[in-house]
A and B are shown apart, each in its own frame.
Chain A
């Protein structure tokens, strides 16, 4: 029987130059339900699809506020995300305490990147089984970062991670040009549209399974992170439905003519 001898720990390379434990961790991200993030010159938006383990249970939280200027959306092992988010909350509070300023996004993202990378290089440790989208504002404006279990971090214009996220990424790539001219509400709608693309036939977005988080600057003033969950998302989903039906009508009219 064939057995992989190179995946027992995260410190051993395979002869092909791969580190299997890290790749398995990245698989864990793909198992998690999808989250989408997008950013323009004024706002950063996170949307997530929540899952419940069983009909009677509550839904797993997908968006975690780190501080009033930033939040993360998670895909993968929620318990690993809790470790990372607690660390980020501490760092953020520490920055406010010692410097009196909200921590810059690139700073905190590289900190968790370093931590995650360390886990891929020490015997007896394992990589984090979670991917993050980090959205927030600092002096340089709104930002969106992607974080992977390998320790890789990248600044993104738009991103989606988790199960069936390829559909959302395709939507984001097709509509990327529109984001920069978007208002806050329009950007949220693009996020929801991208999220909707990932749903299988029998699923739809409801007030129970949708999370939306927004942070940004309006007229040069920072607006605090706002999380929409439960009934708060009803209005947003209604707008989404109207837009979709208006879009469908326009399409069918084109076909008619």
Chain B
């Protein structure tokens, strides 16, 4: 019995202590949008929640378009988009803030003699117009297209940048970056794509139009197979206290390490 009483006391004390903390800033931050940003925003949200116990963070993976609509209609605090806003969207009173950049490396086997391709050629390769490496300066091998599964953010990004949406003739659709790299490393005729941060020396990253994918070339925009991760907010409405705190945190340099470890290139210094 005595134990029980002690237990109750401890629990109630703990609860009081928790509410005490929450008084600083409490509330919730809701984000909605791009599925490609899941890893980045998830890692940031988790870290933010850990440091601000009174604030709950939610993320609704619906896609960039839905996220922009949601913030315009006031259904979430911050919209997430993995493309820049269109002019008509800005005209609706929306502001974009680039959170990070996502570089996608085009990878081939180490034995492949091709080192450089341009965006158009990559598009032709993936839609099946070019089917042999010898046509683009390589050896006489049928090109094997390795890609990601439908719904993957990397696939979505790659296809939208190369203009090959729903037209790619994949030979293999794998479910993780690691599998793509493994498959490309194991086949001299393979070509694949993977998030820049995860490319290892087991495969060769191609330069695009003469520019190698690195964090710097992604940042200065010269490497073209990249897209922005954008935070969308309403221009004339202030964010709630909790949402503002989250926004300030993720756009500060403090968040850079988390953004990098989630595979994207941070833009703030």
Answer yes or no: do A and B interact: no
Residues of B within 8 A of A (CB): none
Query: Which A residues have a C-beta under 8 Å from some C-beta of B?
Result: none
